[in-house]
Chain A
Amino acid sequence: MASATETITAPVTAASHRSELVAFAIMAAFFVVAPAFMYPIFLMKALCFALFACAFNLLIGYVGLLSFGHAMFFGWAAYFCAHMLKEWGLTPELSIILATVAAGGLGLVAGALAIRRQGIYFAMITLALAQMMFFFAVQAPFTHGEDGIQGVQRGKLLGLFDLSHEMTMYFFVLVVFLAAFLLIYRIIYSPFGEVLKAIRENETRAISLGYKTERYKLLAFILSAALAGLAGATKAVVFQLASLTDVHWTMSGEVVLMTLVGGLGTVFGPVVGAFIIIAMQSYLAEFGQWVTVIQGVIFVACVLLFRRGVIGEIAHFLKIRL
């Protein structure tokens, strides 16, 4: 997606890191005080989706791979996590970690298949695989099909902090989100991340430089899948429920939309995009089915007019990196 990412190909300098660190500090501070004036359940939902979008952006923004099936990692991790909490009685942190690992494993299988083709084919293959996983979720006994896994108890974090307390839950989600966000940030600017960006810009050249690009792409895919799984597992704990909505292809579409609105290949774009879309869904909910139409219109408008997304446009205007 060369045109979307042209703004961030400039060499990394201390100054450009500084703008990102300032933005990070503002974001973290905002989330710490936000529950004082916003509905905490809304905030937790938005944070989970922000993490989901960041994980997705790792793939599209920095490797140039458009996955149209990320709901399978998000949704299946939610199922795994809910199942471990409810049926096995594991602690929340252990459930989340295991579900994240499981999502990574699913990412290994799906990724190994999907990276055999590029571009549009990659998108279609991920979509088809996700649809297959959706049908598994409908039929498999442990997911309870249409019912989903309901009535999951949040449990006690490390056996100490009772997550059924709303604020404890909120700050747990916030810590998970910020940690994962920093991890993604670290990956993007690591040598590994630089190779990914080289693959995005020109895969043939990266191969001729001696990089085994398949391995890099697969590893990036697994990381992205695992982090999407982390988001899904956390969401399952927050909402005490895992359901088909999270594995359906419309969910894969939503995460694409969030990232597109915020700005493909920007560090903060997915977070902003997720907040915009989730806020829109809750505040425009009265319009019922029109929400889908509005989302479609935003999609079209973003593709035709604002390919940089909100954060991309701001960064372009201020000539900084965000």
Chain B
Amino acid sequence: MRKVIGAVAAAAVALGLGTAAHAQQTVKIGVLNDMSGLYADLAGRGSVAAAKLAVEDFAKIDPNLKVEIVSGDHQNKPDIGSSIATKWFDNEGVDMIVDVPTSSVALAVSQVAANKNKVFIGSGPASSDLTGSKCNANTVHWTYDTWMLANGTGKAVVKTGGDTWFFITADYAFGHALERDTSEVVKANGGKVLGAVRAPLNTSDFSSFLLQAQSSKAKVIGLANAGGDTINSIKQAAEFGIVKGGQSLAGLLIFSTDVVALGLPTAQGLVLTETWYWDLNDNNRAWTKRWQKEMGNKVPTMVQAGVYSGVLHYLKAVSALKQSKDGKAVVDKMKELPTDDTLFGKGSIRVDGRKIHPAYLFEVKKPSESKSAFDIYKLRATIPADEAFRPLKDGGCPLVKS
């Protein structure tokens, strides 16, 4: 679960042009995510590689800061995640934990970070509760959240004529939240929700749920699920000729790695929202090349890009404060400094811990449009930063009032 990746920046610091030893300050960052399970591809070692790149780039800004990275596997279980976090903060001098896909684990880690006054930067988790009712002063939610996904995909699909919806929802908290948020967006934009079916988590056979969706005659089948459930439902929808029959699918949480795994013949035409795509501009392509040097021929996800961006901004705040032990002070500094990096551009962090940046609505290309294995999206719309995330007042975060 836990592997010391090593002092990446140590070499850079050692060559740091004769800086005096006492000026050095050590920061320890823990990348905690799923290393072997469902989310290993969209986060996993790719996030560790992204964190290393951030450390590498930061060494050019402030060579005096010595940064160490450790990593751990939470296996998507909140109990394992919180015990690793406790151990890291208590015994191993970790100052900040980053990534943590799977909302349930992220909520647990966020609480540990608050109790121990350390820092948690969530790039992997989806739940908008992290900056809503369960927000705290030690947590920053970086890359995306459920509200943004529902808003981005839901609004765009309704506006392009998909005004009747049927949901296939994973029957647990995350699925319910995604269905609820998307339904609201659909209704607010003049669409109608014809029905929903709750499929148990990790269903291997979606055929009967798809059949119900088919007989509902809804124009759009919203998939309020994630990971393997989404992949299976899209695959089986193709098998049962649902898209050919005139209905379209809206995947509410799909990552570029999922699309690559599904293949374009199956995934073509899917509409989805992400905040980062490797082929969006030159900066992203250059970063992806560096990332692939470490990770091989894989496609990086927005989660991994978010880890890079989050770590970089965290280190800037630590360097400005000259300390990393008081987590709340570091997060306050992070909120005070504007964010700026090559991947997400200029942005900011709100008082509730929400990182603000634009989101993009993509459509999966047809196989004939794609020039290479990872050439998967075409941009349909850009959602400006001030519209992409839930308005500050609607979240119910206690930090907002104070």
Contacts and interface: CB of A to CB of B under 8 A. Distances in A.
Is A–B contact present in the complex under a CB 8 A cutoff? yes
Those 5 A-B pairs whose CB atoms lie nearest each other, nearest first: A145-B172, A285-B1, A147-B104, A146-B104, A243-B79
Interface in B48-85: 73, 77-80, 82-83
A244 B173 CA distance: 13
Nearest to A248: B77
A146 B1 contact: no
B73 A146 contact: no
A150 B78 contact: yes
A138 B108 contact: no
A41 B82 CA distance: 12
B18 to A, nearest CB: 37
Interface in A140-155: 144-148, 150-151
Interface string B322-357: 000000000000000000000000000000000000
A16 interface: no
B303 to A, nearest CB: 18
A148 B104 contact: yes
Contact of A41 (B2, B86, B111): B86
Given A285-B1, A286-B2, A147 B107 contact: yes
A245 B86 contact: no
A237 to B, nearest CB: 13
B107 A146 contact: no
B103 A147 contact: yes
A210 interface: no
Interface string A226-253: 0000000000000101011110000000
B174 interface: yes
Contacts of A151: 108, 111
A239 B73 CA distance: 18
Interface residues of A, number: 22
Given A146-B174, A147-B103, A239-B82, A135 B200 contact: yes
Contacts of A39: 87, 91
B321 interface: no
Contacts, number: 68
A191 interface: no
Interface string B164-177: 00000001111000
A118 interface: no
B19 interface: no
A159 interface: no
Interface of A: 39, 41, 135, 138-139, 144-148, 150-151, 239, 241, 243-246, 285-286, 288-289
B3 to A, nearest CB: 6
A285 B83 CA distance: 12
A288 B45 CA distance: 13
Interface in B164-223: 171-174, 200-201
Contacts of B87: 39, 41
Of A145, A147, A288, the most chain B CB neighbours within 10 A belong to A147
Interface string B78-105: 1110110011000100000000001110
A71 B172 CA distance: 21
Contacts of B80: 245
Contacts of B79: 148, 239, 241, 243, 245-246
Nearest to A39: B91
Interface in B225-261: none
7 contacts: A41-B87, A138-B201, A145-B173, A150-B104, A239-B83, A243-B104, A288-B36
A144 B173 contact: yes
B43 interface: no
B78 A139 contact: no
B200 A146 contact: no
Of A41, A145, A289, the most chain B CB neighbours within 10 A belong to A145
B359 interface: no
A151 B129 CA distance: 14
B108 A241 contact: yes
B317 to A, nearest CB: 26
Contacts of B108: 148, 150-151, 241
B379 to A, nearest CB: 32
